[in-house]
Amino acid sequence: MSVLDSKVPKGPLKTKWTDYKNKINLVNPANKRNIDVIVVGTGLAGGSASATLAELGYNVKTFCYQDSPRRAHSIAAQGGINAAKNYQGDGDSTYRLFYDTVKGGDYRSREANVYRLAEVSANIIDQCVAQGVPFARDYGGLLDNRSFGGVLVSRTFYAKGQTGQQLLLGAYSAMNRQIARGKITPFNRHEMLDVVKVDGKARGIIARNLVTGEIERHSAHAVVIASGGYGNVYFLSTNAMGSNATAAWKIHKKGAFFANPCYTQIHPTCIPRSGDYQSKLTLMSESLRNDGRIWVPKSLDDVKAIREGKKKPTDLSEDERDYYLERRYPAFGNLVPRDVASRAAKERCDAGYGVNATGEAVYLDFASAIERYGKEQAKIHNITNASAEKIYELGAAIVKAKYGNLFQMYEKIVDQDPYKTPMMIYPAVHYTMGGVWVDYNLMTTVEGLYCIGEANFSDHGANRLGASALMQGLADGYFVLPYTIGDYLSHEIRTGKISTDSPEFDAAEKEVKEKINFFIKNKGLHSVDYYHKKLGKIMWDKCGMSRNAEGLKEAMAEIKALREDFYKNVSVPGNANELNAELEKAGRVADFLELGELFAKDALVREESCGGHFREESVEIGGEQAGEAKRNDVDFAFVSAWEYKGEPADAVLHKEQLEFNEIELKQRSYK
């Protein structure tokens, strides 16, 4: 296997990026107009990169499978975006954001990339405000902040529960300006099905027009993949059903290494599944944990009564409730990192305390917040001896102003009023921590092929702090890639237009068409979803939050057998030369069936518990299963770092000290 060169600049972390930019090769404006760049994916990373590259003068082609970049899955991000501006004066800084991000990622992030991310974070907010993004503001008109899990400061900028949507509209408006100027040529309703390499360099893509079925060739001097994550390998996830791994997986098969494929973030605040008929799960913003308190009944008798409808959660007194995060992690309480909150919820439900019919739910309760805000508002409005009803009315209005659209969404799905009864939540597959390996320049192991945003592996390690996905996507697109790609493109000034009439394009198109024709002609017994659901069950049961060597070996064998059956018995109705959603899904599930096996293989060789994943054998801490197995320098990170207060005291084995030097953790990759 090739040696991976991260190309991280030498010198102290805090000066790496500045020094690097001062010495990097540039392309002058007159030459930029002769250089073409393809960007696959138009979410926050792809949209911001496309707009910025076009603004600089490059000719950009954008590709997305949606009918508009506005529908990219970035729109689903709700709670906010991190930035180290310290508007609250509560001690935040670039260093603290860097530290929290590396610590929250279980020390598996690339430190140089994360420090750069923290550095440029403040610029993102200025950029987005200039675009008109309607961030929330405080009473004085200044931008407001709220806190998110895993941190002790308020650094998250937000627009109610619609932050991703508003940021995406900002990037989309910047794209539209360049489309009007002719610097961006958009190809909506197109899906990239392969990358084309010429003399070892990425020189274009093969794409399918999803409306007509036409196979198209597109060339460029560089290709940027910004296609998001692969959480849908689990079938049930918080991702849109169209979110897929195809672009990232196709470049992997052409030589771009994957890193950390088995690390997946399990989001703690998802609406629980209600049956086997669902095709996706619905995410509730983590920002709800600012004011919501998470609990389960202390008594199994109460759990049984609630499940049978004999009791309501509001019938239980405070003494009958177990606010288990506040009990276990008093320093962070309900704002522990996502992996800690997810593992704790699963542990309580596995112990029998799940409160819904499937036994897979805990409560997220806003009663205390409503009362607290109500009393505060009563004082502000000089209302003496306010009744309980008035306090509730005043408090509910504040909660509605902060989270109203989220509460409305919950009520529409569950048919319960979360102002009057606690929400039910359960962990679900969300963001993918692994992805395509990239160096400091965001280039993959294929020359001229870049990968940004969630599709790459670099910034989050084994877990992600809330509100950092938007930060990474926009940092890569607005402030990092536009610099680093110039270093490569400065050597392409004399290359001239890349022709699509070449043996390499011929071969790639032929391979794509053969795959499509196979699916159309293969009159099998089962639908694509039949196989996707089976794969998802294997992945969740054996490669999800709980993992062990035996189960992972079984998963690899089962996925291989499922893949073989898929190619024998999958049925794809319709034709290739038309809008055909089943054909689209067939190609994507074929990629998931390959990625799933790599996923399990990677998990098998990682013997530690890390991020959101338990690795057996588990140990007992204070009479409760903590789910950690190996006792080494980075295991038990969630115990020591997040101040577990259980007994016995010697369960806290290590106090990790982050090393700010030129260490880069080895990333296992498979070609």
The answer for residues whose C-beta is within 8 angstroms of residue 4's C-beta and 6 or more apart is: 257, 437, 439, 445, 667, 669
Is the CB of residue 121 less than 8 Å from the CB of residue 471?
A: yes
Structure tokens at 205: 């893509």
Is the CB of residue 670 less than 8 Å from the CB of residue 602?
A: yes
- Enumerate long-range contacts of 530-536, CB under 8 Å, 24 or more apart: 531/562, 531/565, 531/566, 531/570, 531/589, 531/593, 532/235, 532/585, 532/589, 532/592, 533/235, 534/562, 535/233, 535/235, 535/559, 535/562, 535/589, 535/592, 535/593, 535/596, 536/233, 536/234, 536/235, 536/236
Dihedral sign for Cα atoms in the order 442, 444, 447, 448? negative
Is the CB of residue 421 less than 8 Å from the CB of residue 312?
A: yes
Dihedral sign for Cα atoms in the order 470, 473, 474, 475? positive
- Give, as one character, the DSSP assignment of residue 496: -
Please report, to the nearest 10 degrees, the dihedral formed by the alpha carbons of residues 643, 649, 652, 655 taken in order. 80
Helix, strand, or coil (residue 256)? coil
Dist. CA 45–CA 455, nearest whole Å: 10
In the chain, DSSP finds a helix count (H) and a strand count (E) of 19, 22
DSSP H stretches of helix in 156-313: 163-181, 246-253, 300-307
Dist. CA 292–CA 583, nearest whole Å: 43
- Residue the block writes with tokens 């099998």: 524
Dist. CA 133–CA 48, nearest whole Å: 14
Q: Which of 71, 116, 203, 338 is catalytic?
A: 338
Is the CB of residue 292 less than 8 Å from the CB of residue 334?
A: yes
Dist. CA 518–CA 503, nearest whole Å: 22
CA 567 from centre of chain = 30
Of 600, 458, 588, the residue nearest 531 (C-alpha): 588
Q: Does residue 116 carry a catalytic annotation? A: no
Instruction: Report the alpha-carbon angle 228-230-232, nearest 5.
Output: 125
Is the CB of residue 274 less than 8 Å from the CB of residue 360?
A: no
Dist. CA 445–CA 438, nearest whole Å: 7
Structure tokens at 529: 């979803």
- Residue the block writes with tokens 């794809």: 572
- In terms of Cβ atoms closer than 10 Å to its own Cβ (0-12, 13-18, 19+), residue 437 is buried
Residue type at 134? Answer: P
Dist. CA 448–CA 157, nearest whole Å: 34
> How many CB atoms lie under 10 A from the CB of residue 248?
29
The DSSP bridge partners found for residue 190 are: 209
- Residue the block writes with tokens 């392969």: 194
Residue count (the chain): 671
**Residues known to be catalytic:** 338
